[in-house]
Amino acid sequence: MEISRHTYLERRKSLMAQLPEKSVVVLRTGELATRNNDCDYEFRPHSSFFYLTGFPEPSAYAFISGEGELTLLTLPKDPEKEQWEGFRHGRQGAIETFGAAQAAVIEELAPTAFDLLNGAQQVVYLFSDAELQQQIAQWRDALAAKARAGAIAPTHMQDLEPLVADMRLIKDAEEIAIMERAAQISVAAHQQAMSSVHPGMYEYQLEAELNYVFMKSGARQPAYNNIVASGANACVLHYIKNDEEIAEGDLVLIDAGAELGCYAADITRTFPANGKFSEPQAALYQLVLDAYHAGLKELQVGTAYEAFHNAAVEVLTTGLVNLGLLQGEPKALIENKAYRDFYMHNTGHWLGLDVHDCGTYKVAGESRPLQAGMVLTIEPGLYVSKDNLSVDKKWRGIGIRIEDDVLIREQGPYVLTHGLAKEITEIEALMSKG
Ligand code: GLY
Ligand code: MN
Ligand code: MN
């Protein structure tokens, strides 16, 4: 399951059509990162580089010019290196497999850049890439120094981020198919975890169940560090230590999603280690679930992005008052953000090649209206610190989040992570079979 070569070319064409003539886009994918001594982390291409090229190897540069013509600079073919480290596509592979109009080995970066930037009016690149920014400045200065020999240095620089972010924000049918598969692999992993948990297990042992299903299903790695948080650990939003023993009576919060073809899934479920919610756990869980359902209704074409968060906050705040965790009028508690003691994150984010995908949430100062093809998470939660002495002790140390991935469609929201238990009765039924 992958994006077709034709789609990469169409993306480059569409990008260039938005730029003035004589623009050159420059991207780099980044280098292998050392883990320790001579061991590297597995390489993962830069998301926007990958979006426009599909090229998976480290150390590569891409120049896009004209109507989308790609020049790829790659690591050279090297039989000895390939004997130790594996296959490289090299120059020929860049042309034949990745549709590059031209290709060169990375040692030829500077002369290739001079050639391509000579006579270009503007260079378009990610301003966030400081190293590339420095290289481009050097290439430009070197061209300017050769002006008397006829070289023409580019005069304008433009940030690629807003252009590529807006493109990546709307997913096409190929992307949606991969994302639904990543979502469904993740659903299976969460089902496996819910069916195998028991008090006395260590959090990492439950994490192993997730990784097993991801890998067995073809997703070689998670899209982000797995969060397997029992008891009060669930109140740490990005808890990744995953090294404690799961106790009888704990809730377990798992936030984990597979990465497939570089696309992310992002799911959270919270369930009782012993298979049965206690009364306070069930009360808070039902509140988060009600907030989820209220938020989901707002995920409609044309609705402002902020609406689903606001709907969730209203349900959560009113519920916290009804349960006695907050005192006062919900309207005032929302205005002064009193709910943030228990709910300190937003109700979702864009999802795609990055788990927190690119794309602004406001356009011209206004909350962005939702469009068909956007994918986002919905993830309301409640977190009661174990040290919160202002609430009855039965609530303390409970952390709950429910998270699904949703595609915005004309005919209403479509939950890509469908089929995973989230109602209390569904979770308890699934766990009793485990
Ligand atoms: N897994 C990170 C998040 O839910 O935003
Ligand atoms: Mn998320
Ligand atoms: Mn998540």
Mean pLDDT by 10 residues, the chain (434 residues): 92 98 97 96 97 98 97 97 95 96 97 96 96 96 94 96 98 98 98 96 98 98 98 96 97 98 98 97 98 98 98 98 97 96 97 98 97 98 96 97 98 98 96 78
Beta bridge partners of 23: 122
| Catalytic positions | 38, 238, 255, 266, 345, 349, 356, 379, 383, 401, 403
Ligand 1 contacts CB of residue 354 (under 6 A): no
Tell which residue, 370, 372, 377, 374, has the closest CA to residue 355: 377
The Cα 237–Cα 255 span in angstroms is 9
Note the ligand closest to the C-alpha atom of 376. 2
Ligand 1 contacts CB of residue 379 (under 6 A): yes
Could you identify the residue written with the tokens 């830069």?
46
Q: What pTM was estimated for this model as a whole?
A: 0.96
Q: Which residue, by CA, sits nearest to atom 4 of ligand 1?
A: 266
Domains of the chain and any CATH numbers: 5-167 (3.40.350.10), 170-433 (3.90.230.10)
Q: Could you tell me the distance, in angstroms and rounded to a whole number, from the CA of residue 34 to the centre of ligand 2?
A: 28
Helix (H) or strand (E) segment spanning residue 148? none
Say what the pLDDT of residue 1 is: 76
- The encoded tokens of residue 216 equal 């067995």
Ligand 1 contacts CB of residue 405 (under 6 A): no
Note the ligand closest to the C-alpha atom of 223. 1
The Cα 275–Cα 238 span in angstroms is 24
Q: Could you tell me the distance, in angstroms and rounded to a whole number, from the CA of residue 377 to the centre of ligand 1?
A: 9
Q: Which residue, by CA, sits nearest to atom 3 of ligand 1?
A: 266
The Cα 267–Cα 254 span in angstroms is 8
- The encoded tokens of residue 201 equal 């297990």
**Residue whose CB lies within 8 A of the most ligand 1 atoms, among 268, 354, 357, 376, for a mutation test:** 268
Q: Could you tell me the distance, in angstroms and rounded to a whole number, from the CA of residue 134 to the centre of ligand 3?
A: 35
Say what the pLDDT of residue 397 is: 97
Say what the pLDDT of residue 395 is: 98
